[in-house]
């Protein structure tokens, strides 16, 4: 029961700052008066809060409002383009990616570097890659207020518990690289990117098929993390009892049956590009491979949909590219296995974000943290910055 902290005036400031900043992020180009009606706070309070946000360069005043009719025009406020930026780093199995976003979530730059990361040198490589990204941010003249790192594995309170595809176990990235990070699961970050910048659904399960199969579950605009951060780990759900052995030791895991490797193997294609062309030209082997995988994916996803009552499935990563061919068999399997589809159908959507969803989510999570608690940012980052520059 205990675990909540005592509240004071600062708490209401925190809350209301976040409320106002959230309203600014939601409706770009609103005036203080508009914010007052949107948030329910008085004009006086909004002014006071906005002043502080402007001082912290989270918000910037813009042009006077364009509007017909009598009355003074309001001055538009919106998220400051020169405000703090978020840097995202993704450590994939065979690539590194970086991404810088501003407060709006706009991508300032993106970079991908292919390299096998299943070696002990990863940490040096990541460190160099991160330094390079920081340099580029500096060149743009923006300040990076945090770094989000996406890894293909199980993350528990900032610690990479297990990343089988990287061969990691209990890795403390912050410790290894001598820096504080927001470490998170790659699939979860991708789902968050989908929430923030993709199809604006409040409830969905985002599934991406890369080398592993990761799912990120979003319920009521919030990531579902499960008890120890392992919520939505569907890669090793058993979907084919007695099926072929998986690298994890079990048999017939979803990842083994519907992962990228299995699809390519079944279809005879060498790469995903080849697979797509084969599908487009109507190759029977390719079509049946994708259809089979869709069936297995449907089995796995049906448990998620049944249990959480999630009304939508978003296909990301490689699955997004295969969506035209996956959709039908996947939907059929879901309808067969999910009783509730009878009265509320499950939607299947293709993610508009590409393979860069995870990095973008990692970068976005940093600025999302600032937007969610500007007062915290203001008291921790701002004074030190000002001291460092001012003196």
* Contact call for residue 308 and a copy of itself (CB under 8 A): yes
Closer Cβ to DNA, 47 or 341, answer by number: 47
What sign has the CA pseudo-torsion 221, 226, 229, 230?
negative
As given in the structure block, the two tokens for residue 380 are 């921790």
Cβ within 8 Å of residue 234, ≥6 positions away: 207, 213, 214, 215, 254, 300, 301, 303, 304
Pairing of strands 182-185, 168-171: unpaired
Site for a copy of itself in 17-46 (CB under 8 A): 18-19, 22-23, 25-26, 38-41, 45
Q: Which of DNA, a copy of itself, none does residue 270 bind to, with CB < 5 to 8 Å depending on kind?
A: none
Q: Which of DNA, a copy of itself, none does residue 75 bind to, with CB < 5 to 8 Å depending on kind?
A: DNA
Q: Candidates 61, 110, 111, 233: give the one binding a copy of itself (CB under 8 A).
A: 233
Closer Cβ to a copy of itself, 2 or 68, answer by number: 2
Cβ within 8 Å of residue 163, ≥6 positions away: 151, 152, 153, 154, 169, 171
User: What is the DSSP code (8-state) at residue 306?
Assistant: H
As given in the structure block, the two tokens for residue 138 are 């500096």
Cβ 321 vs Cβ 290: under 8 Å: no
Tell the smallest beta-carbon distance from residue 131 to DNA (Å). Answer: 38
Q: Candidates 191, 237, 314, 320: give the one binding a copy of itself (CB under 8 A).
A: 237
Q: What angle do CA 174, 188, 231 make, to 5 degrees?
A: 100
* Contact call for residue 310 and a copy of itself (CB under 8 A): yes
As given in the structure block, the two tokens for residue 86 are 């978020």
Which residues contact DNA (rule: CB under 7 A)? 6-10, 12-13, 16, 31-34, 40-45, 47-49, 51, 64, 68-75
* Interface ranges with a copy of itself (CB under 8 A): 1-2, 4-9, 11-12, 15-16, 18-19, 22-23, 25-26, 38-41, 45, 203, 219-221, 226-234, 236-238, 248-250, 302-304, 306-311, 337, 339-340, 344
């Amino acid at each position: 029961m205990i675990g909540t902290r005592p509240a004071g005036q600062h708490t209401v400031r925190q809350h209301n700052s976040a409320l106002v900043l959230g309203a600014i992020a939601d409706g770009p180009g609103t005036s203080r008066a508009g914010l007052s009606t949107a948030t329910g706070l008085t004009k006086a309070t909004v002014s006071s809060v906005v002043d502080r946000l402007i001082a912290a360069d989270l918000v910037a005043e813009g042009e006077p409002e364009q509007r017909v009719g009598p009355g003074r025009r309001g001055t538009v406020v919106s998220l400051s383009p020169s405000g703090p930026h978020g840097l995202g780093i993704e450590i994939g199995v065979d690539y590194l990616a970086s991404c810088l976003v501003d407060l709006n979530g706009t991508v300032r730059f993106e970079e991908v570097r292919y390299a096998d990361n299943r070696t002990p040198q990863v940490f040096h490589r990541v460190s160099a890659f991160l330094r390079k990204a920081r340099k580029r941010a500096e060149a743009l003249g923006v300040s990076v207020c945090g770094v989000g790192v996406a890894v293909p594995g199980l993350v528990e309170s900032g610690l990479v518990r297990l990343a089988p595809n990287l061969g990691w176990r209990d890795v403390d990235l912050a410790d290894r690289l001598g820096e504080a990070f927001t470490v998170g699961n790659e699939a979860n970050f991708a789902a968050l990117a989908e929430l923030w910048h993709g199809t604006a659904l409040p409830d969905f399960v985002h599934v991406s098929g890369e080398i592993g199969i990761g799912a990120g579950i979003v319920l009521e605009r919030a990531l579902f993390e499960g008890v120890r951060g392992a919520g939505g780990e569907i890669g090793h759900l058993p979907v084919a009892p007695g099926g072929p052995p998986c690298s994890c030791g079990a048999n017939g895991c979803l990842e083994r049956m519907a992962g990228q490797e299995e699809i390519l193997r079944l279809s005879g294609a060498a790469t995903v590009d080849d697979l797509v062309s084969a599908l487009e030209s109507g190759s029977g082997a390719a079509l049946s491979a994708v259809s089979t995988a869709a069936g297995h994916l449907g089995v796995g996803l049906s448990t998620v949909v049944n249990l959480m009552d999630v009304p939508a499935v978003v296909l990301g990563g490689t699955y997004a590219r295969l969506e035209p061919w996956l959709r039908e068999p996947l939907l059929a399997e879901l309808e067969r296995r999910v009783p509730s589809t009878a009265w509320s159908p499950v939607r299947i959507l293709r993610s508009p974000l590409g393979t860069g969803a995870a990095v973008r989510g990692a970068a976005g999570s940093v600025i999302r943290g600032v937007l969610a608690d500007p007062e915290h940012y203001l008291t921790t980052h701002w004074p030190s910055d000002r001291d460092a520059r001012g003196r």
